[in-house]
């Protein structure tokens, strides 16, 4: 009877999500619910195919907290956390994923259970951005189990905060619920065993499925007028093309490179009076703007400059470089011819606000428009009201939108 009551509670929570939060409810509906053996599942878990739950844990939650738990597991799947870890340490990655998800759910009005990982400093950040901030020996423990993969052999050494496979985290905020598992589970069904980790083929297949489900759930919620705020920005961010930004930038620059035919007579040609056209690549002129308002790290800046230098060498590009926060750097601009190495003219200190107008105003004062303007920024600033008559590529760190031009995601 008790197990039946738990199932009814979970179904009721899922139904309320579908009605009140159709985006999250639609995602949860994709995941069958299955009671798990409390020996491995102390709270809840997912393998990207199902949601597993500990009956005693769910029993102690109210209906609003149960909604939160279901939505939490569904977001792990919808954001493909099972396919994005790559080389990263599993414990730190799992913690980073929880820190990325929980602010989204709290800000959407859901009531969390005790013991979630929540830090205002990580709000609006992806798991990849949060991961470097998680210490190797962090005591932080996710509220749930992520059983879609296993720790690589290279990372078998555990930090003091990492869970063992068959024991609950030491002194976690939900220990009261966990300590009751052994005594309360006698006489009840053991529940499902821990599922095996996903194979690479299963990861790839599920990753495609969940991207489609994420898009479908977002469309359903938008039609109902119930998707906005941080969740809407997150969805838009993750549904963008996932090609590396370097490839996108190189493709765009290649598309605007001028290739002209020349009929000039080669000086070394003798005897043949016919002049054949030859393909001659012309030089392209690129203006590069750098947002120095303080949001761009030194490592990101070095990567960006290296890529611009490589593109310049391949495309015979002449680059005019501007640094700008709310005003242009006084000792700029810096000009680099195709045969010159593109390097940092000096170290730029973070400034105040961000205004993109000065760079575009400077270009407007020149006699010739550039073939391309590339702006490296977080897109949190004042844009010109109208787009210029030349192509613009915004290399954006973060999730901010741009009003016009080609936006390429950096992180």
pLDDT in tens, 336-350: 887 877 776 767 766
Integer Cα distance of 309 and 235 in angstroms: 33
pLDDT value of residue 295: 65
Torsion on CA atoms 308, 310, 314, 315, rounded to nearest 10? 0
Q: How confident is the model at residue 175 (pLDDT cuts 50, 70, 90)?
A: very low
Compute CA 76 distance to the chain's CA centroid, rounded to the nearest angstrom: 13
Looking at 299-308, 311-320, 328-337, which range is the least confident one?
Answer: 299-308
pLDDT value of residue 407: 85
Domain 245-258+280-409 homologous superfamily, CATH: von Willebrand factor, type A domain (3.40.50.410)
Q: Which whole-number Å values give the CA distances from 66 to 72, 179, 312, in the listed order?
A: 10, 19, 55
Q: Which whole-number Å values give the CA distances from 376 to 15, 78, 243, 284, 408, in the listed order?
A: 44, 29, 18, 19, 10
- Tokens found for residue 136: 């190797």
pLDDT value of residue 164: 40
Q: What is the mean pLDDT of residues 260-285?
A: 52
pLDDT value of residue 179: 44
**Domains in the chain: boundaries:** 2-238, 245-258+280-409
> Does 380 have pLDDT greater than 60?
yes
pLDDT value of residue 280: 43
Integer Cα distance of 169 and 189 in angstroms: 23
Q: Which whole-number Å values give the CA distances from 138 to 174, 224, 239, in the listed order?
A: 17, 41, 31
DSSP 264: P
Cis upstream peptide for 388 (omega within 30°): no
Q: What is the mean pLDDT of residues 199-224?
A: 86
Question: What is the SS3 assignment for 253?
Answer: helix
Integer Cα distance of 74 and 327 in angstroms: 45
Other beta carbons within 10 Å of 273? 6
Q: How confident is the model at residue 264 (pLDDT cuts 50, 70, 90)?
A: very low
Residues 122, 133 contacting (CB under 8 angstroms): yes
Specify the pTM: 0.59
Q: What is the mean pLDDT of residues 108-114?
A: 91
Higher-confidence residue of 275 and 305: namely: 305
pLDDT value of residue 278: 46
Integer Cα distance of 95 and 100 in angstroms: 9
pLDDT value of residue 128: 86
Helix (H) or strand (E) holding 259: strand 259-262
Percent of the chain with pLDDT over 70: 71
pLDDT value of residue 314: 65
pLDDT value of residue 156: 44
Q: What is the mean pLDDT of residues 389-406?
A: 86
Question: What is the SS3 assignment for 4?
Answer: helix
- Tokens found for residue 204: 């790839």
> Does 222 have pLDDT greater than 70?
yes
Q: Which whole-number Å values give the CA distances from 399 to 125, 238, 258, in the listed order?
A: 9, 10, 32
pLDDT value of residue 256: 63
pLDDT value of residue 269: 45
* Model confidence pLDDT, tens digit, residues 37-90: 999 999 999 999 999 999 999 999 999 999 999 999 999 999 999 988 888 899
Residues 289, 376 contacting (CB under 8 angstroms): yes
Residues 345, 332 contacting (CB under 8 angstroms): yes
pLDDT value of residue 74: 93
Higher-confidence residue of 178 and 326: namely: 326
Higher-confidence residue of 21 and 310: namely: 21
> Does 251 have pLDDT greater than 80?
no
């Amino acid at each position: 009877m008790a197990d039946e009551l738990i199932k009814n509670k979970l179904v009721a929570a899922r139904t309320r999500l579908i009605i009140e939060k159709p985006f999250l409810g639609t995602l949860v509906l994709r995941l069958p619910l299955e009671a798990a053996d409390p020996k491995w599942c102390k709270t809840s878990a997912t393998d990207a195919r199902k949601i597993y739950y500990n009956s005693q844990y769910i029993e102690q939650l109210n209906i609003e907290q149960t909604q939160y738990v279901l939505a939490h597991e569904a977001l792990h799947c919808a954001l493909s956390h099972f396919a994005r870890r790559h080389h990263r340490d599993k414990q730190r990655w799992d913690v980073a994923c929880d820190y990325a998800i929980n602010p989204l759910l709290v800000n959407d009005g859901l009531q969390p259970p005790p013991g979630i990982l929540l830090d205002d400093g990580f709000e609006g950040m992806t798991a990849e951005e949060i991961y470097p901030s998680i210490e190797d020996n962090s005591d932080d423990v996710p509220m749930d189990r992520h059983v879609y993969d296993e720790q690589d052999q290279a990372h078998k050494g555990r930090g003091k905060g990492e869970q063992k496979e068959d024991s609950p985290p030491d002194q976690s905020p939900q220990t009261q619920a966990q300590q009751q598992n052994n005594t309360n589970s006698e006489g009840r069904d053991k529940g499902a065993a821990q599922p095996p980790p996903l194979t690479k083929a299963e990861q790839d297949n599920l990753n495609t499925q969940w991207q489609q489900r994420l898009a479908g759930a977002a469309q359903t919620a938008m039609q109902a007028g119930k998707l906005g705020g941080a969740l809407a920005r997150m969805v838009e961010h993750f549904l963008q093309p996932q090609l590396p930004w370097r490839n996108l930038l190189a493709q765009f620059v290649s598309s605007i490179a001028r290739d002209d035919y020349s009929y000039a007579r080669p000086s070394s040609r003798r005897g043949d009076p016919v002049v054949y056209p030859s393909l001659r690549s012309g030089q392209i002129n690129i203006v590069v703007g750098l947002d120095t308002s303080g949001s761009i790290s030194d490592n990101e800046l070095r990567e960006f400059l290296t890529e611009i230098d490589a593109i310049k060498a391949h495309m015979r590009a002449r680059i005019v470089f501007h640094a700008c926060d709310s005003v242009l750097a006084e000792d700029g601009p810096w000009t680099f011819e195709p045969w010159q190495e593109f390097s940092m003219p000096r170290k730029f200190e973070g400034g105040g606000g961000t205004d993109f107008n000065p760079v575009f105003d400077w270009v407007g004062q020149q006699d010739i428009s550039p073939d391309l303007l590339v702006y490296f920024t977080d897109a949190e600033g004042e844009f010109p009201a109208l787009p210029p008559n030349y192509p613009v590529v915004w290399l954006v760190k973060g999730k901010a939108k741009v009003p016009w031009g080609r936006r390429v995601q950096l992180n």
